[in-house]
């Protein structure tokens, strides 16, 4: 599908509150056959999906440790996870220490997933992911581990006010760029 048709379809699904604010851009229309097209999403004329721009409002992580030490990331721990740690330790361990161990395990897992999703985004071809978004159900795009699919679904008008508001807890464990678009959409309801 040509870029202009793809852009037209994506913009047709934009939430009315975000029309004119969110734009899909391609810096050039001439692509070499062996290179993927470079496209991006802008909000209020600022390129949001730019990992190399230090002035970007979105935080892009370089290491797992950076993610684990980020004070903005709150990782909830369930009683089942604490119980699993209790069984693994096989001994008397204070309750507060069990919570620390469980949170450490979960944050390591979360950090790996986040870095993996970020790496996949930097290698992804926008047009391929956008075509995938247009052909899959909106629920799959929202639940996906792919950052770009999450972003495209969050700005979609098919995702209603109730669903956006009910996703608050899930959004806490998503990449900062996904949370940015979630907050943008929630603010534009």
pTM above 0.85, yes or no: no
Q: Where are the domains of the chain?
A: 3-63+115-187
Looking at the DSSP assignment, which residues form a beta bridge with residue 133? none
Residues 6+ apart with CB under 8 A from 145: 113, 116, 117
- Hey, is 54 helix, strand or coil? coil
Note down pLDDT in tens along the chain; length 189 residues. 777 888 899 999 999 989 989 998 876 555 555 454 566 788 898 888 766 556 666 777 888 888 888 887 778 888 898 888 888 888 788 888 988 899 888 888 888 888 887 776 665 677 788 889 999 999 999 998 888 899 999 999 999 989 999 998 888 888 888 999 999 999 865
pLDDT tens-place string over residues 45-80: 888 876 655 666 677 788 888 888 888 777 888 889
Residue where the block lists tokens 């603010």: 187
Helix (H) and strand (E) counts in the chain: 10, 3
Residues 6+ apart with CB under 8 A from 23: 11, 41, 42, 45
Q: Would you state the pLDDT for residue 133?
A: 93
pLDDT tens-place string over residues 84-99: 888 888 878 888 898 8
Q: Would you state the pLDDT for residue 158?
A: 92
- Listed as own residue / partner, the contacts of 41-50 with beta carbons closer than 8 Å and 24 or more positions apart are 41/151, 43/184, 48/177, 48/180, 48/181, 49/121, 49/148, 49/151, 49/177
- Hey, is 25 helix, strand or coil? strand
Please state, in angstroms and rounded to a whole number, the distance separating the CA atoms of residues 2 and 21.
23
CB 129 within 8 A of CB 37: no
């Amino acid at each position: 599908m040509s870029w202009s048709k793809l852009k037209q379809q994506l913009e047709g699904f934009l939430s009315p509150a975000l029309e004119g604010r969110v734009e899909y851009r391609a810096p050039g229309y001439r692509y070499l056959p062996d290179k993927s097209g470079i496209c991006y999403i802008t909000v209020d004329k600022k390129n949001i999906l730019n990992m190399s721009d230090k002035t970007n409002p979105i935080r892009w992580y370089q290491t797992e440790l950076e993610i684990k030490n980020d004070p903005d990331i709150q990782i909830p721990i369930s009683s089942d996870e604490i119980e699993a740690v209790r069984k693994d330790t096989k001994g008397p361990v204070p309750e507060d220490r069990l919570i620390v161990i469980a949170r450490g395990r979960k944050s390591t897992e979360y950090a790996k997933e986040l870095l993996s999703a970020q790496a996949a985004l930097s290698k992804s071809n926008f047009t391929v992911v956008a075509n995938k978004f247009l052909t899959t159900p909106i629920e799959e795009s929202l639940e996906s581990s792919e950052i770009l699919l999450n972003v495209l679904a969050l700005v979609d008008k098919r995702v209603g006010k109730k669903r956006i508001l009910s996703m608050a807890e899930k959004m806490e464990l998503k990449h900062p760029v996904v949370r940015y678009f979630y907050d943008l959409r929630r603010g534009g309801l």
